[in-house]
Chains A and B, each alone.
Chain A
Amino acid sequence: MHISDGVLPLSVTVGSYVAGAALAAWSARRTRNEELPKLAVMTAAFFVASLVHVPFGPTSVHLLIPGLTGALLGSSAFLSIGLGLLLQSFLFQFGGLTALGANALMMGLPALMCGWFFQRYKGHTRVRQAVVGGVAGASGSALAAIFLAILLVTGGEDFFGVAKIALLAHVPVFIIEGIVSAFTIGFLARVKPELLKPLFMRPQKGSHG
């Protein structure tokens, strides 16, 4: 699920670059120094997850994990996803450099939404955290598919057609990402619960950027 070069009109490309840069700057300002190692690890995980291919009929789709990234990083997720996508487009030729802004919006906004959702509803018990994390993980990619459809509408595509194809093609991804996210967050809740602290609600202190 990447937008390639030359699919979107110029105004949308430039606009998404501006919006993406603004969100990345906001995300960087919200990032605290102590979170940098966690951010690095999650960025690396997001970068590599796209190589995990799930066979699906004649084609294959790959994992995206914007939901898990958002749930673990909160407001810093946009920075992480932007960097991950930049390196993916450099090294894997996923998407294109001119479509990077649109791709960052497509993956980063679902990550922020899922992060907010997770922090809002995670509760305090381990099981509930795992379940909410799984829901966040599964809905991250679904939201990304819907954002893809919204962005492609500006390129002259039919919204419901694209949305239907993108959602249907990624059904196995949603399921697998939900399971992976639930297990990851359940595991982290057991061994390192401080990684799941609310990131959106925390007062902004000692930020860097």
Chain B
Amino acid sequence: MDRIWVLAEQHDGVPVGIVLELLTAARGFGDVVEVVTWGPSSASAVTALGQYGAAKVYDVGDIGESLPGPKLAAAMAAQISGGNGPDAILIGATHDGRDIAARLSVRLDLPVLTNVVGFDASEGGLTTEHTIFGGSMMLRAVFTGGAPGIFVIRAKAFTAQPAQATEPQSPEVVAIDVPETGASDAARVVARHGEERSGPKLDEAAVVVSGGRGLGSPDNYALIIELARLLNGAPGASRAIVDAGWVPYAFQVGQTGKTVKPMVYIACGISGATQHMVGMKAAKNIIAINKDQEAPIFTIADLGIVGDATKVIPRLIEALRARR
């Protein structure tokens, strides 16, 4: 592969985690790795992107109140149809990444290959690995549609490593234009709300303590927060209790939430829907606490406690406090 583009989503000048993972993967099979970025603080991200191997930064700049999908897809499609296209485009499976991939796919009339967790370029072409059926099966495929292939990659499929540069990398920055996007770009972001959380980040913490329906009531989620705090970990949640409004979406672990890969994952009152297990089965160690001995979570747990999480966790908290 000669040339790879990585979509570089960044917030306040900090590339999101998966961008660094994708740059690391791209260096493994691409001769030249370039990125496409956007946003008012995109210039501040250039150094970090260079450290992970970006040779060139295509910058769409500030897109104002637009959602990224229409403008980024239009800008990338214009470069590609103008002859400045890569062989492959790697896009992280974030909300904005999926929107951009979908719209770019239509503009180029090329499919998007999703749920990618691996690349293999050892035999000439590019073979991709995709997890299907909640990660129970691995599908290997080649893209036959002509360049560029558009790939949407799952978080934590690759481990981010800075490039071993002998000299400081300072990527060339090239501003690129956004063609007229018409009605497709009519949505406007009128306000942004952050859901602040303290302690280590959910997708970076060495210990994740998650709660589910088995906690019985929203009030009992306080047990999860306290146990996570005592273990210097991050609290997480199953989709069921996010949907029920017990905790914000930012806590959700699973296919539609965060993918986590901690040293220890402690699942409390979570039965283990496929949707949830996709997001946490790569944890190095799994402890499950659940009343139902038949719960699927016990089939992947290294240590399974058959018991009421609302009784076991308070004793655990008490014992941990006593050790301090």
Pair from one complex: no
User: Using a CB–CB distance below 8 Å, which chain B residues touch chain A?
Assistant: none
User: Using a CB–CB distance below 8 Å, which chain A residues touch chain B?
Assistant: none
